[in-house]
Amino acid sequence: MKIIRPFYEQPTVEVARQLLGRYLVRKHPDGLTVGRIVETEAYIGPDDKACHASRGRTARTEIMFGTAGHAYVYFIYGFYYCLNIVTEEKDFPSAVLIRAVEPLEGIELMKSRRRTEKLHNLASGPGKLCQAFAIDRSLNGADICDKTLYVEDRGEPPPKILAGPRIGVDYAGEWKNKPWRFLIRGSEFVSRP
């Protein structure tokens, strides 16, 4: 079952936790790719110094101020894209970063896009995931409740969750310590233990 918009309108931490064990589906002319979400991070509001929107409302962050259930895709370090899903109410800038998935369908396609044969290296990180799923700027602002990129609930029971500080946000002062990174306990497909 495809997840519908009210799910994404919940508090960001709730969305980040509940996305674990759900399935990211990407339809593309080259084929279908599906992965089980095993790692997420929450970026919450104008005060969160790790959140891009804490610098204010700009052309880049505008999407995070919009309606929940849309994709926020940005380009980073000159090489990679990162996929977020906008959460909470309009005008409150917040999103969940999808950090890693366990490859499930379209594995050969992922291998060719990633230029590696190793299952554990296909989507174990936000940049890798976007490469494996062919996610780029053209999907910025896309509706996650539509049909080219969405999340499915396949009836899996809630997984055991670990929480910890977010990755790569050392510049964020006291906000860097917030335990807003979530992963499925014991998963071999996370970006790091």
Compute the CA torsion angle 50, 4, 131, 156 (nearest 10 deg): 100
Place of tokens 């910890």: 164
Report the alpha-carbon distance of residue 104 to residue 119 in Å, rounded.
10
Chain position carrying tokens 């994709």? 71
Query: Which member of 78, 89, 147, 174 binds DNA (CB under 7 A)?
Result: 78
Question: Does the protein bind DNA through residue 176 (CB under 7 A)?
Answer: no
15 contributes a contact to DNA by CB under 7 A: no
Compute the distance between CA of residue 136 and CA of residue 81 in angstroms, rounded to an integer. Answer: 6
Q: Which is nearer to DNA, 11 or 158 (CB)?
A: 11
Radius of gyration (C-alpha) of the chain in whole angstroms: 15
Does position 116 interact with DNA (CB under 7 A)? The reply is yes
Return the number of the residue (34 or 82) whose C-beta is nearest DNA: 82
Binding flag, residue 127, DNA (CB under 7 A) = yes
Give the chain's length: 193
Cβ distance to DNA smaller for residue 25 or 64? 64
- Site membership for DNA, residue 117 (CB under 7 A): no
Q: With contact defined as beta carbons under 8 Å apart, do 120 and 189 qualify?
A: yes
Binding residues for DNA restricted to 130-169, rule: CB under 7 A: 166-169
**Using CB under 7 A as the criterion, which residues of the chain lie in contact with DNA when the complex forms?**
41, 43, 50-53, 55-56, 58-61, 64, 72, 74-80, 82, 84, 95, 97, 114, 116, 121, 125-129, 166-169, 171, 191
